[in-house]
Structure 1
């Protein structure tokens, strides 16, 4: 894989400390929203930036309770999760003005879940032309905005 030099990201890299356990539960319990990039909390859900984004504005929306699948959520939790998703999407629309979204849930490791024990919804803003030649030819993805910058905009 070729490298795209981005020296301004060293601050981001040095800040990351791998925590053991579930990142969503850490975010819920520690209430250190800035450290975990949590930009929205509802009664039983939270929304946070993905620190390994597929695209600028890639977020994850999760129930607060550690639960692995949709069928384990109560009606209240399911409703609140969808409300959190809608509010998060509205914020992304207002700030980033995407032309569309990829929204998905991966349940279980074989389905692609990187964090298989805690259900979460990926929301990836999309723009016409955002998939360019870089990933295909150079095996490199360019993310156009820092997490800190986007976090500040989402929490204004």
Structure 2
């Protein structure tokens, strides 16, 4: 199965609740004592990494500033530099953990760009690799998310 085709029915719960309640990135940023539960594998001075709870594909991780900013130009030089450095380190970890050789890395800014969460900028790192036929994808993603959290 090639993950160039996006089919992720487990995302329905996320899609149904997007825009309801508090910003999940602000919540995770402020709950350092709950990093395991919030799927936060790494923290820096200005940014943190968070695994996508409803991923499109294996090991989908995001890097977000602690500050609630929505536009690229609102980032400070320090936030941007740390975001890029953390993304680089996460990609190295993903290469080792999930065997990814290719990545999709990007920012979705605004609804037209596909942003599901418009108010809090975040950088997506999506490993692109093939998986074996017959894999129970939702169950495998849960298992991999746990393993990835520990490895990162």
Q: What range is the shorter-chain TM-score in? A: 0.7 to 0.9
Q: Is the 8 A contact 1:56 1:143 kept in 2?
A: no
Cα distance in 2 for residues equivalent to 1:123 and 1:142? 19
Between the two proteins, the alignment pairs up a number of residues equal to 134
User: Structure 2 CA distance, aligned partners of 1:148 and 1:96?
Assistant: 12
SS at structure 1 position matched to 2:53:
coil
Q: Is the 8 A contact 1:61 1:122 kept in 2?
A: yes
- Residue 46 of structure 2 corresponds to 44
Contact 2:52–2:60 (8 Å) recurs in 1: yes
Tell me the secondary structure at the aligned position of residue 122 of structure 1.
strand
Q: Flag the structure with larger Rg.
A: 1
Aligned-residue CA RMSD in angstroms? 2.8
Secondary structure class of the residue paired with 2:87 = helix
Deviations 1:1-35 (A, max 9, x none): xxxxxxxx9xxx9xxx9982111110010111111
- 2: CA distance, partners of 1:81 / 1:95: 20
TM-score (norm 2): 0.76
- Specify every segment of 5 or more residues in structure 2 that has no aligned partner in the other structure, as ranges: 1-9
| 1:26-45 equivalence runs, <5 A | 26-31=27-32, 32-45=34-47
